[in-house]
Amino acid sequence: MTAIPTERANTRLGLAPTGPRPEEETRPLVDRTKTNPLFGDQKMKLGLFGTNCSYGLIMSHAPSTYKVTWEHTKEIAQRADNLGFDVLVPIAKWKGTGGSTNFNGNNYETYAWAAGLAEATERIAIGSTSHLPTIHPVLAAKAATTIDHISGGRFALNLVMGWIAPEMEMFGREQREHDERYAYGQEWIDFVNKLWTEPGSFDLSTHYFTGFDLEAYPKPHQAPRPALLNAGNSPAGIEFSARNVDINFASLDTLENIKAYTDMITSKAREEYNRAIKVMTYGLIVCRDTEAEAKAAFQQVLDEADWDAAGNIIKVAGSGASQSFDHAARQMQERFIAGWGGYPIIGTPEQVTEELGKLNEAGMEGMIFGLIDYNEELKYFGDKVMPLLKEAGLRH
């Protein structure tokens, strides 16, 4: 990324040179380990995934009170906050996937969603999920900083290169080739980081972006910047995550593969980029008093599944649009129906605790998950599972 001296550009444009702003440069930033639970000391971090979209993580007509209204969304967030959960991560969607559910078609835009929930909560980290081709870095940097200030340093930005071609077409954008999307993403996040950290103003000229007399004030509340997340598991995605983000999300089929993956990406970040990265997973948790009840609830999700919606997603995922999901497109269609391709945990409170412990031992430092009925099942999770997690030393 090449920066052009601002004074030269300002002279060309007939503007006075723009200098640094001492009052902004000297404003103390807050150590994010003190404000953002994603950098806290919980051994196994917990979060909710997909509470901004219709049907959450299940492509099914299985009974649930979950609905996309602001009142319901806020109640879920506040319940998770009160239980001590660490993060809320939304799904960025612009249209549904068809079928009888039009899965995820009723959804909230994630920056505005995060701003509202930042004000409505006290401790939990609040994420926005951003499809990078749909939002300019200047706007993204400003929106992220605004939410970071509203939340008091609890913001996290989940970076998605934009893998659903029909959604990119809504913006008049042709889907780039897979690895080129990561090249674009690298310039995008470099641009945003510069806006978050550069004093004064600057000009910019790169392959994908050009800007003159750029500035962004205020700077983010948390230092050195908000948390960055990414769920890329392809070679290009792993490279991007190891180089740039704080947490990589991965969903793999076995604990052995999870261990190999976490060892690989953490070593890559450390050895090639001299930085640390955490790895977390995502999926669906179905917890009931007995294993039979949990399995029956999970089976009901499959029995009442919207296979047309799942087929549409699998068609996109298996067409080369996302290499991160190739394995799931071929072998794990049920995971799309029940968990958006994530890692399923099904069983009693004791079994759920045991499985979360195994994930942690394999290198996963947390899990963001969906529930068939977020609000009602959160009550059960708080009563039955959280005490066991504390007894197991996974939470405190």
Read off the pLDDT of residues 297-354 as tens digits, 9 standing for 90 and up: 999 999 999 999 988 887 876 544 455 544 444 456 788 899 998 999 999 999 999 9
Do the domain assignments include residue 396? no
Specify the pairing of strand 366-370 against strand 45-49. Answer: parallel
Q: Using an 8 Å Cβ cutoff, are 353 and 394 in contact? A: yes
**Residue 8 located in a structural domain:** no
3-class secondary-structure state, position 382: helix
Domain holding 113: CATH number? 3.20.20.30
Look at residue 18 and tell me if it is in a domain: no
Question: What DSSP character marks residue 192?
Answer: H
More confident residue, 15 or 204: 204
Higher-scoring residue by pLDDT: 17, 301: 301
What is the total count of domains within the chain? Answer: 1
Q: Quote the CA–CA distance of 145 and 322 in Å, as a whole number.
A: 29
Q: β-strand 202-205 against 2-4: which pairing, if any?
A: antiparallel
pLDDT at 180 over 80: yes
In which element (H, E) is residue 145 found? helix 137-151
pLDDT tier at 29, thresholds 50, 70, 90: confident
Q: Count CB neighbours of 396 within 10 A.
A: 9
Over its C-alpha atoms, the chain yields an Rg (Å, rounded) of 21
Q: Is the pLDDT of residue 146 over 70?
A: yes
Task: Say what the pLDDT of residue 214 is.
Answer: 98
Note down the domain range covering 305: 43-186+218-391
CB 158 within 8 A of CB 132: no
Residue 219 to residue 149: CA distance in whole angstroms: 9
Judge whether 324 and 233 are in contact, CB under 8 Å. Answer: yes
In a domain, 69, yes or no: yes
Residue type for 98, please? G
Domain-embedded: residue 181: yes
Q: How far is CA 222 from CA 26, 216, 231, 258, 272, in A?
A: 14, 15, 22, 31, 26
**Strand segments (E) across 233-339:** 247-249, 278-287
Is the pLDDT assigned to residue 145 strictly greater than 90? yes
Confidence of residue 215 (pLDDT cuts 50, 70, 90): very high
Report the pLDDT value the prediction gives residue 6, as an integer from 0 to 100.
45
H-helix or E-strand spanning residue 148: helix 137-151
Pair 230, 245: CB distance under 8 Å: yes
Helices assigned H by DSSP within 155-248: 165-170, 178-197, 235-244
**pLDDT reading at 208 higher than 80:** yes
pTM, entire model: 0.91
> Could you tell me if residue 77 is inside a domain?
yes
Residues 112-122 have pLDDT tens digits of 999 999 999 99
Q: What is the pLDDT of residue 317?
A: 61
Whose structure tokens read 């990324």? 1
Would 362 be classed as within a structural domain? yes
232 is a domain residue = yes
